[in-house]
Amino acid sequence: MKRRTAATTAAAAAALLALGTARAQVPVGDDEELPPRAQPQPPQQPQYPPPQYPQYPPQYPPQQQPPPGYGGYGYQPPPPQYPPPQQYPGGYAGYPPGYGYPYGAQPQPQPPPPAPPAPVPPPVAAPPPPERPSVVAPISAPRLTLRAKTPEAAQLTWACADAIDSGHLDAARARCAEALAKDEDIALLHVLLAQLHPADVARSELLRADELGRRASPGEKLFVDAKRAQLEGRTGDARPLFDALVSILPGEPRALVARARFLKEALRDGDGAVADLQRAIERDPKYGVAHGMLALAQLDRGQLDPALAAAKKYVDVDKSEPNAQMILARVHLRRGELGDAAAAGRRAVALDDKLPAARLLLGDVLVFHGKGREGRTQYGALLASGDGPTHHEAAMREARSWIFDGKVAEAERALYAEADLAERAKRPGDEAEALVEVARLQLDRSAVAEAGQSLRRAQEVLANPDNGPAISAEARRRLGAEVGQVRAMILAAVGERQLAEVRMGELLAQWKLQGDPQAEQKVAALRGWVAARNHDDKSALAQLGGATRPTLRLALALAAQRGGDGARARTIMEDLSKATENELEVALTRPRALAWLKANRGIAAAPPAATAPAPTPTPSPVATPAPASEERTAAASAADEPKEAKEPKEPKGKGGKKRRATAAPSSGGLPHKKADPYSSSTALPDPL
């Protein structure tokens, strides 16, 4: 290796010598200079930035002594001091001497692992607490929430609903208008508006509510669907919807009250309504509307003492509410406490003299108190109202007040006048209702031909397609069923029992289609009325047992009387004599029941003997039904085939223009024929 290195060095030196000789032999000019000979440059040393040396010795904090009382437990001493990095042997290869560490990477001293802590004694277990009975904390049930843009809009919507429940319709319209101005996309709000407007507007509001309900909360959607089905007369659809609403919102009092109202008004289920209202009061004891509805439901069931307690509770909850005084007046009236009823009615009017419902109730109290003239004064204060429904209700109650006073001719005249006024005011639903009541009143006084003509006119009003938008679905359903029943009764009255049976079959199909759970019971009771009219008392007693309408119960009482069951007849008559609703059914039966009780004071002193039935005294006015005649045959034709029936000639007024008969015969409304035992307008003593 050494020999090879020496030879290489000698060869390099020879090469340099030859190069210098060659440069000396090159000729150059006089003015030319040779370039300076390049001098070899020394090798460049790498440039390093000035190192950043740490300051030694490092400033470590003085070692701290453990505080007194620690005893060495839990105290960690500071890290130990270490020598400077230059004292570590060996250095780091590849770096200039004196640096010792790579630039920017200073190793950090690692402290030795800490000593394990002293063992901790196990904690002493605390004594177990004394046993207590397990109590499950109540969970707040979900409540009905509205999808509204602002809380104010939701509050106004609920205020509108409460005003409707309390009968403050003007206040309800104002609250609904305010809510609509703040948020017109609340589904329940449009359902409430449908209850406050005529039928044509109500339909559009219900459609709007259905559209908005798809985006509402589940509870609000069920509430909207159930109320819509109820307002449209779809009873079969409304019942499961109300059940589902209560199922998902068991703690919502409004849901329970809504279902109770449906059960009471649409299904006549008083027991179910009372149960729902009691549950609603348990969840909200200060819900006044629930107390009031409970009082009315118990009143319908004949529970007078609980009804009075519920009505007084309503007054205690809200002393400034006229509706509370009105319900208290109705309970006192039913209990026969006429003075207390009149006082409560006057307090209701004093609280709000512009509330139509308060004046209507005070008028009813005065009528049942035997002060018909004063009662009609209260009705007359509302007849000048520009609101169509308010005027119609006052006019109908005024007309019925004449029946309670025993003046049937005046009642017919008032009903005809209201029908004519409703026709001019383009209120076909009110016109049809007045005509149906006229027909029923005429049938009751055995004027079957006139009853057939009045019923035909009512059918024409309902069948007119131009009147469709102006009649609500609920009113059309109710009036259609009433027309069917009166038609069947007219046919039975003239001896056409087979045709009456056909019409009753049509009624049964109609009620079943509407989902009415009491369809069979209603038709059976109507068949019992027909049987009683034909003196088929055995069938009448079997079929009229479940009747609820006062006129049908009157037929049951008369059939029981003829069958020798005077006690049952008297019980039914006593119930009918205590009815205090200003309705046509009550007007047709209450005076008759009072007269029967007066004429048959001793008939129910003891039940009839088992061996031989006691003789049944029959007052002279209660005679056998009149036989079929030409007049009754014409009535059957008018009731069953109205378009082909021949109208009787109507009297002509001035100018030869026909006018409708607006009064009954001049003999006090009684035709010159045999009395009808199922008529409340027979020549009995005036009970009032």
| 319-356 residue pLDDT tens | 999 999 999 999 999 999 999 999 999 999 999 999 99
Q: State the Cα–Cα distance between residues 582 and 488, nearest whole angstrom.
A: 25
- The pLDDT, as a whole number, for residue 77 is 55
Higher pLDDT, 502 or 14: 502
Q: State the Cα–Cα distance between residues 355 and 346, nearest whole angstrom.
A: 12
Cα 246 to Cα 28, 232, 237, 254, 279, distances in angstroms:
123, 21, 15, 9, 11
Whose structure tokens read 């004071």? 601
Angle among Cα 78, 80, 85 to the nearest 5 degrees reads 135
- The pLDDT, as a whole number, for residue 64 is 54
Q: State the Cα–Cα distance between residues 182 and 99, nearest whole angstrom.
A: 81
Tens-place pLDDT, residues 362-394: 999 999 999 999 999 999 999 988 888 999 999
Q: Please determine, for residue 357, whether its predicted confidence score (pLDDT) is greater than 50.
A: yes
Give me the mean pLDDT over the 522-539 stretch. Answer: 91
Tens-place pLDDT, residues 429-464: 999 999 999 999 999 999 999 999 999 999 999 999
Higher pLDDT, 487 or 663: 487
State the Rg of the chain over Cα: 50
CB 572 within 8 A of CB 556: yes
- The pLDDT, as a whole number, for residue 98 is 45
Q: How confident is the model at residue 318 (pLDDT cuts 50, 70, 90)?
A: very high
- Helical segments of 284-337, H only: 288-300, 304-317, 322-334
For 270, other C-beta atoms within 10 Å of its C-beta total 19
Which of 65-74, 167-176, 567-576 shows the lowest mean pLDDT across its residues?
65-74
For 392, other C-beta atoms within 10 Å of its C-beta total 23
Which of 39-48, 213-222, 413-422, 620-629 shows the lowest mean pLDDT across its residues?
620-629
In a domain, 589, yes or no: no
Tens-place pLDDT, residues 211-220: 999 999 999 9
Whose structure tokens read 């002279």? 620
Give me the mean pLDDT over the 625-633 stretch. Answer: 42
In a domain, 425, yes or no: no
- The pLDDT, as a whole number, for residue 200 is 84
Q: How confident is the model at residue 198 (pLDDT cuts 50, 70, 90)?
A: confident
Cα 646 to Cα 416, 539, 630, distances in angstroms:
21, 35, 13
CB 289 within 8 A of CB 272: no
Q: Please determine, for residue 95, whether its predicted confidence score (pLDDT) is greater than 50.
A: no
- The pLDDT, as a whole number, for residue 473 is 85
Tens-place pLDDT, residues 256-285: 999 999 999 988 899 999 999 999 999 999
Which of 17-26, 73-82, 117-126 shows the lowest mean pLDDT across its residues?
17-26
**Cα torsion 516, 520, 523, 526: sign:** negative
- The type of residue at 660 is R
Which of 8-12, 208-212, 463-467 shows the lowest mean pLDDT across its residues?
8-12
Higher pLDDT, 45 or 508: 508
C-alpha closest to that of 440 among 565, 552, 326: 552
Q: How confident is the model at residue 616 (pLDDT cuts 50, 70, 90)?
A: very low
Angle at which helix 550-562 crosses helix 584-599, to 10 degrees, equals 30
In a domain, 21, yes or no: no
- The pLDDT, as a whole number, for residue 11 is 59
CB 192 within 8 A of CB 162: no
In a domain, 336, yes or no: yes
User: At a CB cut-off of 8 Å and minimum separation 6, what does 365 contact?
Assistant: 329, 333, 338, 341, 342, 345, 375
- Structural domains in the chain (count): 1
Whose structure tokens read 């007024």? 653
Which residues constitute the domain of residue 358?
A: 319-384
Give me the mean pLDDT over the 220-232 stretch. Answer: 94
**For residue 476, what are its two tokens?**
């059309």
- Helical segments of 578-681, H only: 584-599, 630-640
Q: Please determine, for residue 501, whether its predicted confidence score (pLDDT) is greater than 70.
A: yes
Phi-psi region of 427 (alpha: psi -120 to 50; beta: other; left: phi over 0): beta
Tens-place pLDDT, residues 102-157: 444 455 556 666 666 656 555 555 555 444 343 333 334 567 889 999 999 999 99
- The pLDDT, as a whole number, for residue 268 is 86
What size, in residues, is the chain? 688
Q: How confident is the model at residue 46 (pLDDT cuts 50, 70, 90)?
A: low
Q: State the Cα–Cα distance between residues 573 and 272, nearest whole angstrom.
A: 27
In a domain, 372, yes or no: yes
Q: State the Cα–Cα distance between residues 530 and 502, nearest whole angstrom.
A: 13
Q: Please determine, for residue 617, whether its predicted confidence score (pLDDT) is greater than 50.
A: no
Which of 81-85, 203-207, 372-376, 431-435 shows the lowest mean pLDDT across its residues?
81-85
Report the range out of 30-34, 137-141, 564-568 with the highest average pLDDT.
564-568
In a domain, 529, yes or no: no
Q: State the Cα–Cα distance between residues 11 and 417, nearest whole angstrom.
A: 149
- The type of residue at 135 is V
Q: Please determine, for residue 25, whether its predicted confidence score (pLDDT) is greater than 90.
A: no
Q: State the Cα–Cα distance between residues 560 and 35, nearest whole angstrom.
A: 156
CATH number at residue 339: 1.25.40.10
The model's pTM is: 0.67
In a domain, 128, yes or no: no
- Is 492 buried (19+), middle (13-18) or exposed (0-12) by CB count in 10 A? buried
Q: Could you tell me how far CA 652 lies from the centroid of its own chain?
A: 52
Which of 339-348, 453-462, 597-606, 638-647 shows the lowest mean pLDDT across its residues?
638-647
- The pLDDT, as a whole number, for residue 516 is 83
Q: Which residues pair with 658 in a beta bridge?
A: 652
User: At a CB cut-off of 8 Å and minimum separation 6, what does 654 contact?
Assistant: none
- The type of residue at 192 is L
- The pLDDT, as a whole number, for residue 114 is 63
Q: How confident is the model at residue 517 (pLDDT cuts 50, 70, 90)?
A: confident
- Helical segments of 183-265, H only: 187-196, 199-213, 218-231, 235-248, 253-265
In a domain, 640, yes or no: no
Task: Compute the mean pLDDT over every residue in the chain, rounded to the nearest whole number.
Answer: 78
